[in-house]
Structure 1
Amino acid sequence: MPILLSWRLAALCLIAVPLAASAQAVYPDKPLRIMVGASPGGGTDILARLLADKFGASLKQPVVVENRPGASNTIAAELTARAVADGSTLLLATNTGQAVAPHLLKLKYDPLKDLQPVGLVAVMPNVLVVPSTSPYRDVKELIAAMRAKPGGLRYASSGIGSTQHVGGEAFALATGTKAIHVPYRGSSQAHVDIIGGQVEMMFDSTSSAMQQIKAGKFRALAVAAARRTPELPEVPTLAEAGVQGADVNTWYGLFVTAGTPRAAVERLNAELAQSLRMSDVQERIKGLGGEITAMGIEPFAEMNRSEFERYGKLVKDTGMRAD
């Protein structure tokens, strides 16, 4: 090969290397979607649309929310786990799909291995609610009715293995009572029957129940948390109402497909942190009764593993089943 031609080829290769590296560094280079394992109108959906709006503006790409309710949020999770690992498919998950459902359902993916944690979005306490027309004015009256009619009352949830389901079983275990579990395909669907009186109670997250509480359609009896929420200052905690060991919260976290380039994961974590610092986002989450805790990728991954183990024990202790 002539020396001049060889030199030109070498020069072209040197130019191509940084160009290729530059192309790989561009993220995102196409529209994004945020998978949601619940119906529109619920807490997960509300937060997903809030993040989609902020991400779309800062990342300069369209960001759409795709609702795939059912199977305790695991349908959306499996679609994310099986997606192309380029960071274009995100999952706004809760501890329902990440920590509870895996111990109850046979999944075709591994939530710890097939989904890459990005960051924690918010933590919402669960709140015990009854319809505003309910005869039960406080937790003591509700427990008395449950003891008088074992299995005679029903509690709704957003699905088998949801934190609402866990909350109901934890409450029954702590109080020595029994109630019938009625699962729905999302909190918003359960609300219809709560308001209509077909189901007597629900241990819903404040993020989805707050609107009904403020509208006077739900009566909040207790918050399943260590302290009262500022948005419901008059509502006691379960412990204050005399029930110990039944606190269950709902956390929301952002995930992507495992194998997504680290640079993309870090960019999303940074974008999430930036969004959570915005005053309108903070006001919205606090208005839902939630708390924001900024968390890096590794700490959130460790929290995800820890919660998986904690809820596995709780599922075993309460005797929860998928049927």
Structure 2
Amino acid sequence: MPTRRRFWCATLGTPLLALSCSLAHAWTDKPVTMLVPAPAGGSMDVMARILADQLSQELGKAVVVDNKPGAGGAIAANALKSAAADGQTVMFTANNILTEIPHVMRTSFKPLSDVKPVAAVAKTGMVMVAAPTLEPKTLKGFISYAKTHAGQLSFASYSSGTSSHYAGMIFNQKAGLDLQHIPFAGSPPALSQVMGGQIAIMFDGIVTSRAMITAGKLQAYGVASKTRSPLLPDVPTLSEQGFADLNFSNWLGVVVASSVPADTVERMHATLTKAATAAKVRERMQQAGYEPVPSQTPKELGQSLQQDYERNAAIVKAFHIQLNP
């Protein structure tokens, strides 16, 4: 704790303020390790480093980003579980690591019992995109086009068992189409096939598609959410075009091991929320293609996580999506 803050704490005149300062000190007396279940340089890592920079200023301590990709997030999650339950080791993750991947990949951690959410700091939506050379310029036009080219078109995803895959399957069903699913190992290779016209459409994250939409390298048929995205304000939602079930987004935030005490989680939540709402963090967040999220308590986030997990389980069952070995 900086000297000036320590002196201020020592001169507090009321037990309540003294207790408040003591509790604040309990989470700031050591550096923090922020695990990221993704490679350095990826979109999740970018957001983690934006938050870590501000968090280190709030705490007056170093916040070290430690990338541990692989095994569907299990490598990072297991490192989190094995760390001391003092809140000094946290994991910055997208919620799909906890709510999507465990349904289609065997993982060595239980997403709803081994970890618990602390604070969501940003979110990313999805958008349905196609090559600008594809003749239909509206969603309605594309559906008509796909029906007259039955059996000839496909949709890409950035891996089986992800929201990109789920959205494509639901769209296929609701629109009465027979688009074939072609999974890729990530968004960039899938988008290159869509931009080249080899694959008709893709549901992609706004983070990776927005720049190409703006540059005219992709056209957008609709955003997969209930409300329009401030990052693509001129693109209508799929919901307002008759597809209310196409509502997909991921929040990004901090989780800890379930063994971390509730009072520590509450103090962490307050500090993380303050860091995430700093003006320069919001600015960098938007530049990276993320949107801010309304503050939710750890309990509310836990309930949201449970709902997303159950929804994805139902999608996997309904479309007979197979578990990968």
Question: Is the TM value for this pair above 0.5?
Answer: yes
Structure-1 separation of matches of 2:244 and 2:162: 20
Alpha carbons of structure 1 residues 168 and 76: separation in structure 2 relative to 1, 3 Å: farther
Whichever residue aligns with residue 220 of structure 2, its letter is: A
Any residues of structure 2 matched to 1:258-269 within 5 Å, and which? 258-269=258-269
What TM-score does the superposition give when structure 1 sets the normalisation length? 0.80
Trace 1:1-323 onto structure 2 (pairs within 5 A). Answer: 25=26, 27-37=28-38, 40-42=41-43, 44-70=44-70, 72-147=72-147, 148-150=149-151, 152-157=153-158, 159-286=159-286, 288=289, 290-322=291-323
d(CA) in 2 for partners of 1:246, 1:304: 18
Conserved? CA contact 2:31–2:63, under 8 Å: no
Which stretch shows the higher mean deviation, 29-38 or 51-60?
A: 29-38
1:3 paired residue number: none
CA contact (8 A) 1:36 1:65 kept: no
In the alignment of these two chains, the number of paired residues is 300
The 8 Å contact of residues 224 and 238 in structure 2, kept in 1 or not, is answered as yes
CA distance in 1, matches of 2:262, 2:28: 11
Tell me the residue number matched to 2:11: none
Match of 2:13 in 1: none
Conserved 8 A contact 2:35-2:80: no
Moved more, 110-119 or 71-80: 71-80
| Amino acid in the other structure paired with 1:275 | A
RMSD: 2.9
CA contact 1:160–1:183 (8 Å) conserved in 2: yes
Secondary structure in structure 1 of the residue aligned to 2:240: coil
User: What letter corresponds to residue 115 of structure 2 in structure 1?
Assistant: L
Distance 1:272 1:217, change over 3 A: farther
The CA distance in 2 between the partners of 1:38 and 1:174, in whole Å, is: 35
Measured in 2, the distance between the counterparts of 1:58 and 1:259 equals 24
Q: Which residue of 2 aligns with 1:5?
A: none
- 2: distance between equivalents of 1:135 and 1:75? 44
What are the superposed Cα offsets for residues 88-133 of structure 1, whole Å, 9 maximum, x if unpaired?
3322222322112222222211111111211122333211112334
From the superposition, tell whether residues 32 and 52 of structure 1 become closer, same or farther in structure 2 (CA, over 3 Å). Answer: same
Does 258-267 or 47-56 show the bigger shift? Answer: 258-267
Note closer, same or farther for the CA distance 1:198–1:75 as it changes in structure 2 (3 Å cut): farther
> In 2, are the aligned partners of 1:101 and 1:162 still within 8 Å (CA)?
yes
Q: Which deviations, in whole Å up to 9, do the C-alpha atoms of 1:281-318 show, x marking residues without a partner?
A: 23344553624111122221222222222222232233
> Offset of 1:177 from its aligned partner?
2.0
Counterparts of 1:146 and 1:45, CA distance in 2: 37
Relative distance call for 1:45 and 1:170 in structure 2 (3 A) is farther
Q: Deviations over 1:179-223 (max 9, x none)?
A: 333334443454444444454332122233223322333222101
Q: Secondary structure at the match of 1:240?
A: helix
Instruction: Classify the secondary structure of the residue corresponding to 1:268.
Output: helix
- Flag structure 2 segments of 5+ consecutive residues without an equivalent: 1-21
CA contact (8 A) 1:55 1:63 kept: yes
2:17 equivalent in structure 1: none
SS at match of 2:50: helix
Distance 1:47 1:296 in 2: 20
| 8 A Cα contact 1:124 1:251, kept in partner | yes
1:26–1:65 CA distance, 2 compared to 1 (3 A) = closer
Over 3 Å counting, the alpha-carbon distance change for 1:253 and 1:125 in structure 2 is same
Deviation at 1:50, TM superposition (A): 1.3
